A and B are shown apart, each in its own frame.
Chain A
Amino acid sequence: MPRKEIDLPYRVDHLSILDEEGKLDSSIEPLIPDEVLLKIHRTMILARRFDERMLILQRQGRIGTFAPIKGQEAQIGAAAVLEPDDWLVPSFREMPAELWRGKKMESILLLYGGYNEGGYVPEAVNNLPVAIPVGSQTLHAAGLAYAIKYRKQRQIAMTFFGDGATSEGDFHEAMNFSAVFQVPVVFVIQNNHWAISVPRSRQTHSKTLAQKALAYDMPGLQVDGNDVLAVYAGAKEAAERARAGGGPSLIECVTYRMSMHTTADDPKKYRTEEEVEAWIKRDPITRFQKYLTAKGLLTDDTIAAVDAEVQSEIKAAEERWAQQVEKALDPLDMFAHAFAEMPPHLLAQKEELRQELAGRKKAE
């Protein structure tokens, strides 16, 4: 009865296509049509500028707490491999991917501006709303994927979460269920190195997060998460495998949260400026712009033009937001959508509030 090594099917690769200088490894350059490349670029800029704008609005007290995305715009590379009817299952730092998938900026402002109505998801858009309890949404992606398989559809589900989420039981249960039932789901870790103040090294003793896939006999890949081409290529491979009946995959995108966890914390308390500086040099946008410029798809002028365009788009969205706030002023709407049909006790409580509000108005 000798002791011998067990032959396990997977290893963990790291994929990088555009280096920090924007230099391309052309042998593995993904084939992406020019218009898609430009749309990815435009959405990355839009996400960056919108994030900056939201931070200003938050500091002005016009919206509440939110989780900035600065530095994680290359996640759009993963969302870009989805078909329109695929399912996006985000956490709370996927604004770039949500914009790619058609989420309206005014609806994001409405949500973080404190109105339930901002959570509305239009018909035919298969994006789940933002999920705040860390890692919990991964199970919904697994269940959606089971339903897709049961209904013999071509769709897939893609779920995003952070490095901190890999410590949660729900993540492991979702990975396990997905592998056991071989369902079409792609798990995308945004390893941004920080779960509020706790570094990646304190979340897990594992050398990579991608290797967590091995325990479930699932392919795991680590990609440079600030290299949108690598993110795209890794996600494409996983999505194709899922669509072809090859089951789930895990992708670890190594990226960095350049800003704070949420607007309620100050990262200076727990991480160094040098670390942030080092990551600014690896900015996903500058690197992609170098690539697109070298490809002849962008110039300094067109980059400036895109910037100006997205700024006016953001301004227009803010105007629509203001109009929606006007419509959302009735506090009684807090009772909406509790159940398909409002039970008697809620009708009574709503009436109680209606009377209170009328009384308060009279008293003023």
Chain B
Amino acid sequence: MAKMTMVQALNLALHQEMEKDDRVIVLGEDVGLDGGVFRVTDGLIHKFGAERVIDTPLAESGIAGFSIGMALYGLRPVCEMQFSGFDYFAMHQMESHAARLRWRSQGRFSVPMVLRAPCGGGVRALEHHSESREAYWAHTPGLKMVIPSSPRNARSLLISAIRDPDPVVFYEPKAVYRAFREEVPEDEETLPIGTSQIVREGKDITLISYGATLHPTIEAASELKEKHGIEAEVIDLLTISPLDDELFTASARKTGRVVVVHEAPRSFGPGAEVVARLVEKAFLYLEAPIRRVTGFDIVIPLFQREQEYLPGVYRIVQAVRETLNF
């Protein structure tokens, strides 16, 4: 087993799937010789050639629509949006066609494509390079929305996404891309889409997060244990849609208290759906109102202030203590 960053792990997944399956095609802006602006597709062009690793013209709707056509023919396109802040151009193709062609053709056609995009803040970037808009995709019937949190689960989930018979939007938290390394087995590994995981067990409160904010959430859980003797259970959603509500419902029934953490804006965000499910399925078990620790409902500020915007350990610890003291 090698220790890898998320970028390297995603690159490994692409290498292995392309080697195994000649239906897999990678396309996007600068994915060829440049290897993608974050290097996720590094080296693929040398191994698989320009026919399978396509530097496309600079047009996100074109990339998505072109991928849909390939997928209709039976290929497995994995297209890259350079930043999630530019994928709105592609949203119309994904919403109007990728998500619907199976339904529209009543099962004759399907669109087994993956739309990858780096998401989220924390890397001191320009405007349009730090957004978290996963809720847009999760709200779309016919799409699956996945956000890994670590090198190992990113690799496994990307393979699952490529093999999925339906379109998957795959957001990669760019703050995690090179933040740490993790053992990633050479042998192929998959994780089922639509399944969340308990990453830390606890009995006092349930913390639900995903993607980049999973890490301050885990740190907050350690601090709560060390400083306050609070045992927080931490759940990593991994898939935003279809949302696995069984695991967190069971956890909430056990702990009676829940805090949801994400950097996407609060109103109508993924946390709102999590809270709604908990109200529907665990209402009588709840001992306190559920708190949402999230980004604010504003444009994410430019980088001098983004750390104050992003949910951090302090904000999470405060919310947990207030929830426990309710």
**Which residues of A line the B interface, CB within 8 A?**
116-117, 119-123, 128-129, 131, 133, 136-148, 150-151, 157, 169-170, 173-174, 176-177, 180-181, 336-341, 343-346
Q: Which residues of A contact B56 (CB under 8 A)?
A: 177, 180
Q: Can you offer 30 A-B residue contacts whose CB atoms are under 8 A?
A: A120-B105, A120-B106, A121-B106, A121-B108, A133-B92, A136-B92, A139-B64, A139-B66, A140-B68, A140-B97, A141-B69, A142-B62, A143-B67, A143-B68, A143-B71, A143-B73, A144-B72, A145-B69, A146-B66, A147-B73, A173-B62, A174-B62, A177-B62, A180-B56, A336-B107, A337-B106, A338-B102, A338-B142, A339-B102, A341-B165
CB proximity to A under 8 Å, residues B259-284: none
B251 close to chain A: CB less than 8 A: no
Q: Which residues of B contact A145 (CB under 8 A)?
A: 69
Q: Which residues of B contact A136 (CB under 8 A)?
A: 65, 92-93, 96-97
Name the distance in Å between A181's Cβ and chain B's nearest Cβ. 8
**B194→A176 contact, CB < 8 A:** no
CA distance A176 to B56 in the complex (A): 10
**A337→B107 contact, CB < 8 A:** yes
CA distance A180 to B57 in the complex (A): 8
Q: Which residues of A contact B41 (CB under 8 A)?
A: none
**B68→A139 contact, CB < 8 A:** yes
Q: Which residues of A contact B136 (CB under 8 A)?
A: none
B25 close to chain A: CB less than 8 A: yes
**Further pairs besides A129-B105, A136-B97, A139-B66: 5, Cβ < 8 Å:** A117-B106, A120-B105, A146-B70, A150-B75, A345-B243
Q: Which residues of B contact A340 (CB under 8 A)?
A: 102, 110, 165-166
B141 close to chain A: CB less than 8 A: yes
**B108→A139 contact, CB < 8 A:** no
B203 close to chain A: CB less than 8 A: no
Instruction: Name the residue on B nearest A339 (C-beta).
Output: B166
**B109→A139 contact, CB < 8 A:** no
Q: Which of B52, B75, B108, B141 has the most CB of A within 10 A?
A: B108
**Which residues of B line the A interface, CB within 8 A?**
25, 51-52, 54, 56-57, 59, 61-62, 64-75, 77, 92-93, 96-97, 101-110, 141-142, 144, 165-166, 194, 242-243, 245-246
Which of A116, A131, A170 is within 8 Å of B106, CB to CB?
A: A116
Q: Which residues of A contact B92 (CB under 8 A)?
A: 133, 136
Known A-B contacts A119-B105, A147-B74, A177-B56; the reply to A170 vs B62 at CB < 8 A is yes
Which of B66, B106, B109, B242 is within 8 Å of A343, CB to CB?
A: B242
**B105→A143 contact, CB < 8 A:** no
CA distance A316 to B300 in the complex (A): 61
Q: Which residues of A contact B77 (CB under 8 A)?
A: 143
Instruction: Name the residue on B nearest A119 (C-beta).
Output: B104
CA distance A116 to B106 in the complex (A): 7
CA distance A128 to B105 in the complex (A): 8
Q: Which residues of A contact B141 (CB under 8 A)?
A: 338
Known A-B contacts A147-B74, A336-B106, A340-B110; the reply to A142 vs B66 at CB < 8 A is yes
Name the distance in Å between B104's Cβ and chain A's nearest Cβ. 5
CA distance A340 to B194 in the complex (A): 14
Q: Which residues of B contact A146 (CB under 8 A)?
A: 66, 69-70
CA distance A222 to B182 in the complex (A): 60
Q: Which of A121, A139, A140 has the most CB of B within 10 A?
A: A140
Which of A150, A169, A181 is within 8 Å of B61, CB to CB?
A: A169
**B73→A151 contact, CB < 8 A:** yes
CA distance A128 to B101 in the complex (A): 9
Q: Which residues of B contact A169 (CB under 8 A)?
A: 59, 61
Q: Which residues of A contact B65 (CB under 8 A)?
A: 136, 138-140, 142-143, 170, 173-174
